[in-house]
Structure 1
């Protein structure tokens, strides 16, 4: 009986530790990267009720009795994949798990990622095991306007449990990529014209909405409602544009309509750095190791370093791949950028705090500071070394992965 009681007590204790928002943890690192200041040798993070309670050197931060202690060589904030289709695109590469692009119409701003995201998709767990705790995911490139994107944590059994922001951006595309999925538009000029026409329609729709006489107001239109939010600056327009003509067209549209623009992909950004910097537009860079073909024929491993040198804020993304397992790993993409001229601290910032700022969630994630969500990654070595493993991933104060990978 005593043995059974002991076993029951152990099981009950483990359940208490694993319960979301209930764990009291202390994480100790040989090197702690908070992203809110200089790295801390022999650093400690205290976690209580899913939030960061205290951060500092071990000599100043005492670990209270009863806290579970986790140790690592290096600890960073949870990694952020700044643009993905994971959760809409699945691991099997068959029709039923490929919801990232609807090819019935090239203009569909009304499509909600929230309605298609599968929190239980195996790919979500796969990227989580490599330290990704926050995903900016949703409808992907390939249509003039493919739909909406969203922000989720890589945990939870349902979209509601994972959700950070149900509408993070509206996704659009300029360039020849559209031709793979639609007969029209067939040229660069036609794609820009279609996008511009939709924004003009939204401007007119907004004006009609403001009519004093309710009878003169337009019937609700889901697509126009979303584009009005873009015009009002409430939701950014994420435009995938790889080559110089598309990049410049996106900047012209932003100047004309005044919306918040986030450039995506930008394989040839290094050719127009001054123009991007002067526009004050952030960039979600194509995967560093993208195959240099098609629209990305001008890609280089050094683009991240050049963006950093030019003072242009940017973040890393996994993007979309047409082959199994359907996604890249942003940690590896950042490591390759660091090996090709990008300072290591800047690479880590682009995976964490810089990405959080671009996506508008820096008040919750991206750095290890008191009051923020307790999202951490524990490594057994330098995060950018090939032989290093992610050993523990913590999301909202709960260890969700505890196997070195």
Structure 2
């Protein structure tokens, strides 16, 4: 028996290295997002899902699959920090919309990962534009809380969700005020009451499942936020509301805040930097679409970066469930309005990963990072550039979508019918 087990072990030892998938992405301008900067004519080697080497003179392992960037750009995968990918197929068709639950008695306890569909039709169209990671942000229901967010990759595989309970989302903007009873005072009072319920959980619920604001089950889900182990993402745009959020954080230590929206964040940039609160903004949000956004400006991103605020970019103005693919274009607009190129690119790769606590694994090209690698035929922040290859966790992904199949099917059709009969 021992001899048989030894033989099996030896067989496995000989087999495993051969099973490891190795890619060498060569002949490209490598954007590392590390102290190594940008490497001209560089190579990235990925083995068995992880990056193992990055540099200008990297030896290509024997048997590796070589992807020639042909002088293009080699970058980390794009990380979209606010999306509803896989939650919504058609927004106005309720049976295909799992972004929120208006009629549920629960709120904080709702886990968006339970609604995620990795086979959603918008995921391939996002992936082929270079987005490899994304955060799922729920919509609110009957109160200011939407539930718990999650992190996904865009491979479309069944194990696409790689982190759950990543944050709790709450709306403290004008829409949240409306949900809470008609004013911002009502929204903040509800949040304070929810924290009060949670601080005394489970004792407060010994005799009854309802607290001042939250059901017992929701209070249990908020415990990690109150104790600083999970961030609270709050949607606010007005400078006054952002200041109120900063005061809430100071009064409720060790809570960690993430500001989503931030149209007027530039007005309180120094305060955000001092409090070390990150902001998720759309750099092309420049119109006063509501009274919350009177101070919107295309210089929002540049002013926040200059003040030292941690900033990641979103596609809030273009919708998050099917247009997250436009994120590089939005970052390019930030560059056009004063943000240095490397800062803008970091804001859609490594910075969002760091905000969600996974920056040691995603968002950079360095040994030990996940093999999320994108090859572009030009500058990824230029609107006419496009990915030619996308690797997720060291596996090359399919660059075909429903749109590309339709294009290929109809682009070369010749209509020989008389002109009057053509459609």
TM-score range with shorter-chain normalisation?
0.7 to 0.9
Paired position in structure 2 for 1:152: 152
- Asked whether the equivalents of residues 100 and 140 of structure 1 are also in contact (C-alpha less than 8 Å), the reply is yes
Within a 5 Å distance, the mapping from 1:228-267 to structure 2 comes to 228-258=223-253, 259-267=255-263
CA deviations on 1:160-197 (whole Å, 9 max, x unpaired) are: x11221111000011212367x4x42111111111111
Paired position in structure 2 for 1:28: 26
Whether 2:338 is the aligned partner of 1:341: answer yes
Change (3 A) 1:188 1:208: closer
**Following the alignment from structure 1 to structure 2, what is the Cα–Cα distance between the partners of residues 305 and 374?**
30
**Following the alignment from structure 1 to structure 2, what is the Cα–Cα distance between the partners of residues 327 and 173?**
21
- Asked whether the equivalents of residues 232 and 257 of structure 2 are also in contact (C-alpha less than 8 Å), the reply is yes
- Asked whether the equivalents of residues 88 and 138 of structure 1 are also in contact (C-alpha less than 8 Å), the reply is no
Paired position in structure 2 for 1:374: 371
**Following the alignment from structure 1 to structure 2, what is the Cα–Cα distance between the partners of residues 314 and 87?**
25
Within a 5 Å distance, the mapping from 1:2-81 to structure 2 comes to 22-37=20-35, 38-57=37-56, 60-72=57-69, 73-81=72-80
Paired position in structure 2 for 1:195: 191
Moved more, 315-324 or 75-84: 315-324
Change (3 A) 1:323 1:42: closer
> How far has the Cα of 1:104 moved from its partner?
2.7
Within a 5 Å distance, the mapping from 1:164-183 to structure 2 comes to 164-178=162-176, 182=179
Change (3 A) 1:50 1:327: closer
CA deviations on 1:173-228 (whole Å, 9 max, x unpaired) are: 11212367x4x42111111111111111111225669xxxxx78989932111211
State the structure with more CA Rg: 2
**Following the alignment from structure 2 to structure 1, what is the Cα–Cα distance between the partners of residues 242 and 192?**
15
Change (3 A) 1:179 1:29: farther
Moved more, 99-108 or 65-74: 99-108
Whether 2:360 is the aligned partner of 1:363: answer yes
What is the TM-score of this pair, normalised by structure 2?
Answer: 0.82
Paired position in structure 1 for 2:160: 162
> How far has the Cα of 1:40 moved from its partner?
0.5
Spell out structure 1 runs of 4+ moving beyond 6 A: 215-220
Paired position in structure 1 for 2:274: 278
- Secondary structure of the residue that 1:278 maps to in structure 2? helix
- Asked whether the equivalents of residues 88 and 96 of structure 2 are also in contact (C-alpha less than 8 Å), the reply is yes
> How far has the Cα of 1:141 moved from its partner?
5.7
Paired position in structure 2 for 1:97: 96
Paired position in structure 2 for 1:11: none
- Asked whether the equivalents of residues 321 and 328 of structure 1 are also in contact (C-alpha less than 8 Å), the reply is no
CA deviations on 1:233-265 (whole Å, 9 max, x unpaired) are: 111000010111221121111111110111111
**Following the alignment from structure 1 to structure 2, what is the Cα–Cα distance between the partners of residues 388 and 68?**
24
Change (3 A) 1:85 1:109: same
Paired position in structure 2 for 1:88: 87
Segments of 5+ residues of structure 1 without an aligned counterpart are 1-20, 210-214
**Following the alignment from structure 2 to structure 1, what is the Cα–Cα distance between the partners of residues 400 and 115?**
30
What is the TM-score of this pair, normalised by structure 1?
Answer: 0.85
- Asked whether the equivalents of residues 122 and 322 of structure 2 are also in contact (C-alpha less than 8 Å), the reply is yes
CA-based RMSD of the aligned residues comes to 2.6
**Following the alignment from structure 2 to structure 1, what is the Cα–Cα distance between the partners of residues 294 and 146?**
23
Segments of 5+ residues of structure 2 without an aligned counterpart are 1-18, 405-423
> How far has the Cα of 1:329 moved from its partner?
2.1
